[in-house]
A and B are shown apart, each in its own frame.
Chain A
Amino acid sequence: MDASINMNSVTISVEGMTCNSCVWTIEKHIGSVNGVHHVKVSLEEKSATIIYDSKLQTPKTLQEAIDDMGFDAILHNPNPLP
């Protein structure tokens, strides 16, 4: 494996999800974004936890990707602890 890959994770609040179909759609869509390794969306907590390569994505671009889908994505902590 390439040692230069920088894994990072971020939790983004997502408003506007009301059912599992919304959750599934976000997981599928964000999961296909370049540099995203894993995504877990929680309907109860209204949040998405994303594990990503910090060379390819930033919390801001991931937030925009969710926002683009028509959901209200809010970034609480732009610089999460490692």
Chain B
Amino acid sequence: MPKHEFSVDMTCEGCAEAVSRVLNKLGGVQFSVDLPSKKVCIDSEHSVDTLLATLNKTGKAVSYVGPK
């Protein structure tokens, strides 16, 4: 599965938790959240646009870093 890395402006555990929840809702994703570096690494067949839209739902600043 393609791996994508996103930069998400998370500042606390609650933010990271919110990101995990929206991704779990989307389904079909495997991901890891790295809070200290504000990175989310997602393993998914979904398009980058879909993932971006999902991450944007949290209301945080999100940017696509690139494939991993």
Contact = CB atoms under 8 A, between A and B. Distances in A.
Nearest to B21: A70
Interface residues of A, number: 14
B57 A69 contact: yes
The interface size bin for chain B is 10 to 19
By secondary structure, the B interface counts as helix
A70 B20 contact: yes
A35 B7 CA distance: 31
Contacts of A18: 12-14, 17
A1 B2 CA distance: 53
Interface of A: 16-19, 21-22, 25-26, 28-29, 68-71
Given A18-B13, A25-B60, A70-B58, 17 more contacts: A16-B14, A16-B18, A18-B17, A21-B11, A22-B12, A22-B15, A25-B15, A26-B59, A29-B59, A68-B22, A68-B57, A69-B22, A70-B17, A70-B18, A70-B19, A70-B20, A70-B57
